[in-house]
């Protein structure tokens, strides 16, 4: 494949945009080559400005569960656009989307819309702190909750230590209230609670982690987490920005029996438009401004065009609940195929699937947490990624990301991707 135009475009972008991209992971830093600049998407395919076509397993990092340029969602957006782009005043569509969400999630009585997952989580944490009157929060290494200050805490720090910032520009004073524990390790959680004398506002977790590769929490772990939170009056937040409407219609909450106190949503909820949301039972949400004292606001929050996209997407999902079985089968088909290709090439690989989310690691060990994930063979991944891209398969450009199936992803596309995996892995071991 030729990437000449993208290479030139990247050089131009580099002059005026730091690193040439508006979000770091897009820069292909962990893999070979330069990022293709995208011209358009069509169903399960992406087309770059050099005219290359790719089978897309990134789907804008999750939001596009119906694939690119879905006609129903586009029509909803175009209808909304005709009436204006933003009013900064209440609109009916906000209540409609909120009602859909509160009906779907029995853990959510009320929901507030924002414009990104980062904002959703940042606001949820503030509300949890305001509600409990406590400052400390507990997060897990390898879980990503957006880039707000108190959540940008060094991954990999040890047991029960107060977190050090993982980015310059984040004052240590702001992260000293962020405790860290290892994912799926309840003993560390207990230690954190003991060290903090139970003075923890909330525990935030990706119940199905998708930002260290795909690493689901075990049911036992989530149940014990729930019990510890209950024992200390600590709120349990499920960050379902990625897993919401992805792992199942109800996200992880459609899979585990454990109920969180608060939920954050994003990605699929906006169907490709900038939308995030956080919700909880009424008692908690009553603390949010203007009902309560915890401040939170946004000029473009609940934007009518973005809400229209989200509503169209959610209605379509609710009308076709069987799509999750189909998406799951396709994800399994892809992962089984990759696994067989790796076996044939005698390259160690582990895979996992949750609904329309999939993940694979070049690893000899099962991956239960970030330490395990960090042992994956990232140089093998980099070569694999390049080989797949050259064969028209667009995978996330880091081994610490989940992959996604859309309803526009066909079995033929999956089989083509598997064939590419056989060829690529064969080439790498030749």
Ligand X SMILES: *Cc1c(COP(=O)(O)O)cnc(C)c1O
201 or 242, CB closer to ligand X?
242
In order of 22, 101, 308, 351, the CA distances from 222 in angstroms are: 34, 23, 34, 21
Contact 186, 224 (CB under 8 A): yes
Beta-carbon contacts of 12 under 8 Å, excluding residues fewer than 6 positions away, are none
Candidate list 3, 45, 144, 183, residue with the active-site label: 144
Contact between 265 and ligand X (CB under 6 A)? no
Contact between 310 and ligand X (CB under 6 A)? no
Candidate list 110, 267, 316, 330, residue with the active-site label: 267
CB of 367 to ligand X, least distance (A): 17
What are the backbone dihedrals phi and psi of residue 21, each rounded to the nearest 5 degrees, phi first? -135, 160
**Interface segment toward ligand X; rule CB under 6 A; list 1-9, 113-121, 125-133, 348-356:** 113-121
Ranges of beta strands (E only) in 49-175 are 53-56, 110-114, 137-140
104 or 125, CB closer to ligand X?
125
CB of 207 to ligand X, least distance (A): 10
Q: Mask 3-42, x = binds ligand X (CB under 6 A)?
A: ----------------------------------------
Q: How many residues bind ligand X (CB under 6 A)?
A: 15
6 or 296, CB closer to ligand X?
296
100 or 240, CB closer to ligand X?
240
Query: 419, exposed or middle or buried, with CB in 10 Å at 0-12, 13-18, 19+?
Result: middle
Chosen residue from 3, 28, 144, 338 binding ligand X by CB under 6 A:
144
CA-based end-to-end distance of the chain:
21
Contact 196, 188 (CB under 8 A): no
Residue nearest to ligand X (CB): 117
Active-site annotation holds for 220: no
Contact between 401 and ligand X (CB under 6 A)? no
43 or 146, CB closer to ligand X?
146
**Interface segment toward ligand X; rule CB under 6 A; list 90-98, 139-147, 341-349, 387-395:** 139-147
Active-site annotation holds for 419: no
235 or 342, CB closer to ligand X?
235
Active-site annotation holds for 230: no
**Interface segment toward ligand X; rule CB under 6 A; list 5-13, 73-81, 85-93, 234-242:** 234-242
For residues 297, 303, 309 and 310, what is the CA-based torsion angle, rounded to 10 degrees? Answer: 20
Chosen residue from 48, 70, 188, 239 binding ligand X by CB under 6 A:
239
If you ran DSSP here, which 8-state letter would residue 23 be given?
S
Residues 115-134 within binding reach of ligand X (CB under 6 A): 116-118, 121
* Alpha helix segments (H runs only) across 196-322: 219-232, 282-285, 304-319
Contact between 241 and ligand X (CB under 6 A)? yes
CB of 401 to ligand X, least distance (A): 9
Contact 40, 74 (CB under 8 A): no
146 or 328, CB closer to ligand X?
146
How many Cβ atoms sit within 10 Å of the Cβ of residue 220?
Answer: 10
Residues 172-201 within binding reach of ligand X (CB under 6 A): none
Tokens of 283: 């008692």
Chosen residue from 44, 251, 266, 403 binding ligand X by CB under 6 A:
266
129 or 267, CB closer to ligand X?
267
CB of 263 to ligand X, least distance (A): 11
Q: Which residue matches tokens 């949503």?
A: 265
In order of 196, 310, 334, the CA distances from 264 in angstroms are: 25, 15, 29
Give the residue among 284, 237, 5 at the shortest CA–CA distance from 137. Answer: 237
The 10 Å CB-count burial string (b at 16+, else e) for 150-185 is: bbbbebebeebebbebeeeebeeebbbbbbbbbbbb
Candidate list 239, 261, 352, 372, residue with the active-site label: 239
How many Cβ atoms sit within 10 Å of the Cβ of residue 78?
Answer: 11
Contact 413, 405 (CB under 8 A): no
Contact between 146 and ligand X (CB under 6 A)? yes
Residues that bind ligand X (CB under 6 A): 116-118, 121, 144-146, 206, 210-211, 239, 241-242, 266, 276
Give catalytic residue positions.
144, 239, 267
């Amino acid at each position: 494949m030729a990437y000449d135009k993208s290479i030139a475009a990247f050089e131009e972008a580099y002059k005026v945009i730091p690193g040439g991209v508006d979000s770091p992971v897009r820069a292909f830093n962990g893999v070979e080559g330069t990022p293709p600049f995208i011209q358009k998407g069509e169903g399960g395919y992406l087309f770059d400005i050099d005219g290359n076509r790719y089978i897309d397993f990134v789907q804008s990092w999750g939001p596009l569960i119906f694939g690119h340029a879905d006609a129903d969602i586009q029509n909803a957006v175009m209808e909304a656009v005709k009436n204006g782009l933003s009013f900064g005043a209440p609109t009916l569509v906000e209540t409609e989307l909120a009602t859909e969400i509160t009906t779907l999630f029995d853990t959510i009585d009320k929901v507030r819309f924002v414009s990104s997952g980062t904002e959703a989580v940042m606001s949820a944490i503030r509300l949890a702190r305001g509600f409990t009157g406590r400052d400390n929060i507990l997060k897990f290494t390898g879980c990503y909750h957006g880039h707000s200050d108190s959540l940008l805490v060094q991954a990999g720090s040890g047991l029960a230590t107060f977190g050090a910032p993982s980015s310059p520009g984040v004052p240590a004073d702001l992260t000293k209230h962020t405790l860290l524990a290892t994912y799926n390790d309840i003993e560390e959680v207990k230690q954190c609670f003991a060290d903090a004398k139970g003075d923890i506002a909330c525990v935030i977790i990706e119940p199905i982690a998708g930002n260290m590769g795909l690493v689901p929490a075990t049911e036992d772990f989530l149940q014990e987490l729930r019990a510890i939170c209950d024992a200390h009056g600590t709120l349990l937040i499920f960050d379902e920005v990625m897993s919401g409407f992805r792992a199942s219609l109800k996200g992880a909450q459609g899979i585990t029996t454990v109920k969180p106190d608060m939920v954050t949503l994003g990605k699929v909820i906006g169907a490709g438009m900038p939308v995030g949301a956080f919700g909880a039972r009424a008692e908690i949400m009553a603390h949010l401004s203007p009902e309560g004292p915890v401040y939170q606001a946004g000029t473009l929050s609940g934007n009518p065009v973005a809400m229209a996209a989200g509503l169209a997407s959610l209605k379509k999902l609710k009308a076709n609940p069987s799509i999750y079985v189909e998406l799951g089968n396709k994800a399994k088909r892809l992962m089984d195929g990759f696994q067989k290709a790796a076996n044939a090439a005698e390259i160690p690989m582990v895979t996992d699937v949750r609904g329309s989310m999939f993940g694979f690691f070049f690893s000899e060990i099962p991956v239960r947490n970030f330490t395990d994930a960090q042992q994956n063979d990232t140089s093998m991944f980099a070569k694999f990624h390049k080989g797949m891209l050259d064969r028209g398969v667009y995978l996330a450009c880091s081994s610490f990301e989940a992959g996604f199936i859309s309803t526009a992803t066909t079995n033929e596309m999956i089989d083509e991707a598997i064939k590419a995996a056989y060829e690529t892995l064969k080439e790498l071991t030749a």
